[in-house]
């Protein structure tokens, strides 16, 4: 399969900074020492794809409140996006 489509995924911030509270990832104490809890990738927009790194709890806030700065997609875009992904997998 030849994929001529250029995928332009835009990342907001980086994996070491939550875009909601601007704090670093939380650290969990385990028997091995400190483990960084990876930030969650939140889709702010699907077309084009825009992803923000956020804490698990901050991510819940985005969707529960909701925080409109972080939700730029239209209703139904998430479904369309994942349907397209599924189609792609099917033809490869």
Residue 50 binds to Zn ion (criterion: CB under 5 A): no
Smallest distance, Å, CB 67 to Zn ion? 10
What is the size of the binding site for Zn ion (CB under 5 A)?
6
How far, in whole angstroms, is CA 56 from its chain's centroid?
A: 11
Binds Zn ion by CB under 5 A, chosen from 11, 16, 21, 66: 21
SS (H, E, C) 48-63: CCEEEEECHHHHHHHH
- The binding site for Zn ion (CB under 5 A) comprises 18, 20-21, 42, 55, 58
């Amino acid at each position: 399969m030849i994929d001529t489509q250029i995928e332009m995924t835009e990342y907001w911030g980086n994996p070491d900074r939550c875009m909601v509270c601007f704090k670093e990832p939380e650290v969990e104490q385990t028997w091995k020492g400190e483990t960084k809890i990876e930030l969650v990738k939140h889709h702010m927009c699907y077309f084009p794809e825009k992803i923000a790194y956020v804490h698990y709890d901050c991510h819940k806030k985005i969707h529960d409140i909701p925080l409109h700065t972080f939700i730029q997609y239209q209703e139904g875009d998430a479904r369309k996006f994942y349907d397209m992904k599924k189609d792609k997998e099917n033809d490869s």
